[in-house]
Structure 1
């Protein structure tokens, strides 16, 4: 499986993870800044949250880690949380903006 195929699978997995307070997945919300594949089986995800004091932060990060690590082709996952740049609604996909009534 190519890195591109693995990245596409990871994106599909990220689209199954939701911020409990917002009915849009974390990928379409624009919370995923980078997905880096090292070798063929190691992944680093650079992400943010909608707010630094998000009460569900640990749960969301753990779910990202666990779901990616469950892939048979992945042996190691590193999830890095950043608030630089801070998230804002302009980072959302058009689909997410439409769903939340921003369009």
Structure 2
């Protein structure tokens, strides 16, 4: 492998860091992080530009933290992952359902 290739940022590594950062964000009413809840619909990282684009939703459109949670995600990713720029988009389609939750989240919430 050439030195140039070894010096290029790794997209998988950056994505893993971003996911770990997202896992530090919790819905205040649910004791499970938003990643395990299935609230992250899409994640794209640009390791060269050190940027992340995130599409997320909430458990309900009337969620009291609708105005705050995207900012929490942006701050967590920017600070914990070392990403320089983050774009978080709140989307409602498709609507969130419990089917999007990980097995871990379902176990944590006694839903199995």
Q: What TM-score comes out, normalization by structure 2 length?
A: 0.86
The equivalent residue for 1:10 is 18
Q: Distance in 2 between matches of 1:57 and 1:27?
A: 16
Runs of 4 or more consecutive aligned structure 1 residues displaced over 2 Å after TM superposition: none
The equivalent residue for 1:78 is 87
2:99 to 57, 79, 90: 90
Q: Is 1:21 the equivalent of 2:29? A: yes
The equivalent residue for 1:46 is 55
For residues 1-45 of structure 1, give each alpha carbon's deviation from its aligned partner in whole angstroms, at most 9, with x where no partner exists.
Answer: 411001001111111110000010000000001111135211100
Q: Distance in 2 between matches of 1:42 and 1:8?
A: 13
Q: Distance in 2 between matches of 1:32 and 1:21?
A: 17
> Could you say what secondary structure the match of 1:58 adopts?
coil
Cα RMSD, aligned residues only: 1.1
Give yes or no for contact 2:25–2:76 (8 Å, CA) kept in 1.
no
Structure 1: unaligned runs, 5 residues or longer: none
Give yes or no for contact 2:74–2:88 (8 Å, CA) kept in 1.
yes
Q: What TM-score comes out, normalization by structure 1 length?
A: 0.93
Larger radius of gyration: 2
> Could you say what secondary structure the match of 2:33 adopts?
coil
The equivalent residue for 1:33 is 41
